[in-house]
Structure 1
Amino acid sequence: MRWFNSADKRWMLMLAWLLLAVTTATEAREVGPSQWHDAMDAFAAQDQAHPPPQKAVLFIGSSSFNYWHTLAQDFPGIPVINRGFGGSVIADSTYYADRIVWPYHPRLILMYAGDNDIAEGATPERVLAAFQAFVAKARKRLPDVPVVYVSIKPSVARWALWPLMHEANEKIRAWAATQHGLRYVDIGPAMLDAQGKPRPELFIADGLHMTPAGYALWIAALKPVLAEYGFHTR
């Protein structure tokens, strides 16, 4: 009989979380090649035409990163890679990590995702489990690379879902506080007005995606975090 040591048990637990998140995510919709085939091919073509920097800051997740077209200009002097793909849920980034995370050997990973998970019917518990699965997979391949979770934002279009999004944020915040190399950044308060409602000027006409004013708030929140990990703007 083989006895498992503590390291074995930790890895078994992390893999269990991964399986749980993948299973729960697929209850909402299929996660796999057919959903994001074109997006992955587009990223591969970009990488071939313009090889991305190694040891950079990797921004991964859904459309709030995907639409951040001024990312490199907003963090001058910091090597950044944007691999947000619109409409994705957390489990999509986990599934495609072998194509849009590991090849870049990032020094820091920033994730914005979970917004679409809630919109597609995921519970806050499922959002937490999906993020834990991403972290578990990242720890297996990139054990020393910090992961920063940018909180789910309050928006005009999805304001009715904000209680669930806020609950998911709080669960991730609490879990992150117990983990080494994991950071939670709360961008919500700055995006709310004095009455606690989303500030309309931060959003384009769809009420979901952000204007430059919205991204300016994110830049202000993220610059100090990047500096803590040794990334300083010019």
Structure 2
Amino acid sequence: MSTSAKTFPIWAFFSLITNGLLMLGVILLIWQQQRLSAVSPTPVSETKAVKPELGERHTLNYQQWVDILKKEAQVAVDKHPEHLTILAGDSLSLWFPPELLPEGRNWLNQGISGETSYGLLKRLELFDRTQPEVILVMVGINDVIQGVSDEIILDNQRQIMSYLRKAHPKAQIIIQSILPHGGEEATWEGREKLLAIPNSRIRQLNQQLQAIATKEGVKYLDLYPLFINQQGNLHRKLTTDGLHLSPQGYIVWRTALQIYTSTKLKSEV
């Protein structure tokens, strides 16, 4: 018994404290954020500097997406905005409403709909020269949907962390947990694929992801507990179809980012 207590990882202890405080903060602030968003969303001026309108991007193929993101990254290189923060990932990052992104930062959205961990890994070089202050990564749910094994997903994630840490030594790199899906309540067109994936698997993947992040020396933000209902599925009020997020879901995410970046990151400056 005493031996186990002595070998309990220090990082795990502090992670529990951090995530506990994060969940408490989100609970306290979520209603305030919902009211502000519902009454009069305030545009984020910083966002406009580096993130243009999405327009008809949903009709683009993958290479067209990559070409556009490369150009947008170049704009960030040329303008070198202060407090540049990059969102890297799939459609969950891509469709983050600009007006809900935390204020006080310039945002560069490098999300692509349907992106996988392998796809993201292969295009990280697009923003090599942007000199971001923070890089937020969320990817993995499309891998699971496509039947990619846990081993491959985690290896790709490990390579993503290693690459970003070397390419951006001065940036705060934050790996975000994979979010749950809506289970039986899902209405997404690929519902059957979601039902074949137990959320318990995603939870286990996140546990391994956190361990890898610690080993690679990058931050880990556990959003998973903030999005689940009593059954352990994605809460219906936080999603549009059991996979993608509703405005309320993005408010939860925004609040978590606000608390994390204003406490966890600033305390380490």
Same fold (TM > 0.5): yes
Unpaired runs of 5+ residues, structure 1, are 1-34
Partner SS state of residue 103, structure 1:
coil
TM-score by length of 1: 0.74
* Structure 1 counterpart of 2:203: 166
Q: How far apart are 1:92 and its partner, in Å?
A: 1.4
- Of 104, 108, 129, the match for 1:77: 104
State the aligned residue count: 193
2:234–2:242: 8 Å Cα contact kept in structure 1? no
Judged with a 3 Å threshold, the aligned counterparts in structure 2 of structure 1 residues 48 and 171 are, in CA distance, closer, same or farther, namely closer
CA distance in 2, matches of 1:195, 1:164: 14
CA distance in 1, matches of 2:195, 2:220: 21
Deviations 1:7-41 (A, max 9, x none): xxxxxxxxxxxxxxxxxxxxxxxxxxxx7210022
Partner SS state of residue 121, structure 2:
helix
More displaced 10-residue stretch of structure 1: 137-146 or 218-227: 137-146
CA distance in 1, matches of 2:231, 2:123: 40
* Structure 1 counterpart of 2:256: 221
Judged with a 3 Å threshold, the aligned counterparts in structure 2 of structure 1 residues 159 and 148 are, in CA distance, closer, same or farther, namely farther
**1:155 is matched by which residue type in structure 2?**
H
- Of 188, 193, 196, the match for 2:229: 193
Q: How far apart are 1:110 and its partner, in Å?
A: 0.5
CA distance in 2, matches of 1:53, 1:223: 19
Judged with a 3 Å threshold, the aligned counterparts in structure 2 of structure 1 residues 149 and 179 are, in CA distance, closer, same or farther, namely same
What is the CA RMSD across the aligned residues, in angstroms? Answer: 2.3
1:94–1:134: 8 Å Cα contact kept in structure 2? yes
* Structure 1 counterpart of 2:85: 57
TM-score by length of 2: 0.65
**1:89 is matched by which residue type in structure 2?**
T
**1:142 is matched by which residue type in structure 2?**
H
CA distance in 1, matches of 2:104, 2:82: 14
- Of 73, 88, 97, the match for 2:115: 88
2:91–2:113: 8 Å Cα contact kept in structure 1? yes
Q: How far apart are 1:48 and its partner, in Å?
A: 6.4
Partner SS state of residue 152, structure 1:
coil
Q: How far apart are 1:55 and its partner, in Å?
A: 4.9
Identity, % of aligned positions: 23
CA distance in 1, matches of 2:115, 2:162: 19
Judged with a 3 Å threshold, the aligned counterparts in structure 2 of structure 1 residues 47 and 113 are, in CA distance, closer, same or farther, namely closer
Asked if 1:115 is matched to 2:150, the reply is no
CA distance in 2, matches of 1:133, 1:226: 24
CA distance in 1, matches of 2:152, 2:71: 33
* Structure 1 counterpart of 2:27: none
Q: How far apart are 1:54 and its partner, in Å?
A: 5.6
1:65–1:82: 8 Å Cα contact kept in structure 2? yes
Asked if 1:208 is matched to 2:243, the reply is yes
Unpaired runs of 5+ residues, structure 2, are 1-60, 187-193
Deviations 1:94-153 (A, max 9, x none): 211121x21311111110101111111112222111111111222332223221111110
More displaced 10-residue stretch of structure 1: 121-130 or 151-160: 151-160
CA distance in 2, matches of 1:226, 1:55: 12
Q: How far apart are 1:74 and its partner, in Å?
A: 2.8
